[in-house]
Amino acid sequence: MKKLNLANQDYFPIFSSLPEDHKLDERYFSAPDADGGSGPLKHWCLLGEITEIIKYSRPLYKVKDKAGKVFTVACYFDNDQARPQWMKYTKPGNTISVMYADKHFFMDGQLGIRLEDVERVNVYLCTLNTFLELPNKVTSLRSSKNCQSCKEYARRQCESCRLRYCDKECQKLHWAQSHKRECRAIAQIAEWKRKEWSVFHDAYWC
């Protein structure tokens, strides 16, 4: 697996460093070609911790980024779109990731994130601080052939993140202790570690 540095502002920028929608930011997009077309130069992902659920006609959240900046994330999904699985995890204290995030000026003058594609988003059952610490642990955790609970040799694997357990009882015990909060995050980080972030060919969805 490749090294993944979630502190890298090139690929995991804070809110203030994001491009604005409908503006060409050459840190993120190529200069227009002869036909006026432009595309992403790289992959990037905004990480934040949900701090508040706002009651409104559409899903609306307050989110805090790595620098402590709080901003609004508003969902503008089509009415015929099925409710995404990640939405059931949108609770204060959980981490949200948004691929290819850009800043949007709302009608009330606020600057935030307007979400239109459900595939760009994921939510994890751990705090942002916990999420940011996981890349240093994921490779060793996934390469270990020992049970995460009793530390004996194990063949059984978690279907999501591939950590090992000797039996169901050990897996249930570790799930209750900590794995419930980290499983989705470990699986996502392991997937990101296999990606090449510096060159854009096709979009990476969460």
Residue 154 and residue 63 in contact, taking contact as beta carbons nearer than 8 Å:
no
Exposure string of 152-162, with b = 16+ CB inside 10 Å and e = fewer, is eebeeebeebe
- Reported as a single tens digit per residue, the pLDDT across 54-71 is 988 888 999 999 999 999
> Which has the closest alpha carbon to 59: 104, 128, 116, 127?
116
For residue 57, the model assigns a pLDDT of: 82
What is the C-alpha separation between 66 and 130, in angstroms, rounded?
A: 12
What is the C-alpha separation between 129 and 195, in angstroms, rounded?
A: 22
Torsion, Cα 64 52 19 36, to 10 degrees, reads 160
Strand 70-75 and strand 111-115: pairing? parallel
In one letter, which amino acid is 194?
A: R
What is the C-alpha separation between 30 and 3, in angstroms, rounded?
A: 26
Domains recognised in the chain with CATH numbers? 15-193 (2.40.50.140)
Positions in the chain whose pLDDT score sits under 50: none
